[in-house]
Amino acid sequence: MIQSLQCEFERIDDEHIHCKRKGCGRIVKTNRLDLQARCLSTEKPSVSGDRKYKTEPLGIVAKGVNYAKAIVRWKMAGSPVRSDEEVVRIFEDLCWKCEHFTTNSTCPLCGCRVSKSTNALLNKIRMATESCPLKKWGEKS
């Protein structure tokens, strides 16, 4: 029998916390670190001393679900896109400098591809309906 764990939350900015257990990564918009939530992970957290926690990448299923939701929102809104200049500015000034960003052009927090690409189907930044999960850019920021 798999024992259910509670999320082990850590602050990622002024408004968001996330579970640092491997395989969970749940993100919640709140200031409370004492929030109780059933963890999606079945593993115990690894202790890494004073090393800053690095967000675990999402699994292929979670990436697919997030991507599908983004495409549906974008298509339902009439496929609006950001300008080439805005895409480059967001990528270079915000995504590229984000502490969670990795060099494979995939956001580890939402699992979507982010780049300077002008193809909206291959670049979340290009879709004007989409925003950063940390609210660093997008219409909800």
Phi, psi of 64 (to 5 degrees): -60, -40
pLDDT tens digit sequence for 99-110: 877 767 778 778
Which residues of the chain fall short of a pLDDT of 70?
A: 1-6, 21-24, 31-58, 103, 139-141
Domain assignment present for residue 133? The answer is no
pLDDT tens digit sequence for 74-101: 999 999 999 999 999 999 898 888 887 7
Q: Total structural domains in the chain?
A: 2
Cα 111 from Cα 125, distance rounded (Å): 13
Q: What is the pTM of this model?
A: 0.57
Task: Give the domain range for residue 105.
Answer: 60-126
Q: What share of the chain is helix, strand, coil (3-state, %, to 5)?
A: 25, 10, 65
Cα–Cα distance list, 120 to 19, 82, 94, 97 (Å): 30, 9, 18, 21
Domain assignment present for residue 87? The answer is yes
Output the pLDDT for position 23: 67
Looking at the structure, do residues 88 and 120 belong to the same domain, yes or no? yes
Looking at the structure, do residues 46 and 68 belong to the same domain, yes or no? no
Looking at the structure, do residues 35 and 69 belong to the same domain, yes or no? no
Which among 3, 2, 8, 4 is positioned nearest to 36, based on CA atoms?
8
Which of the 8 DSSP states describes residue 91?
I
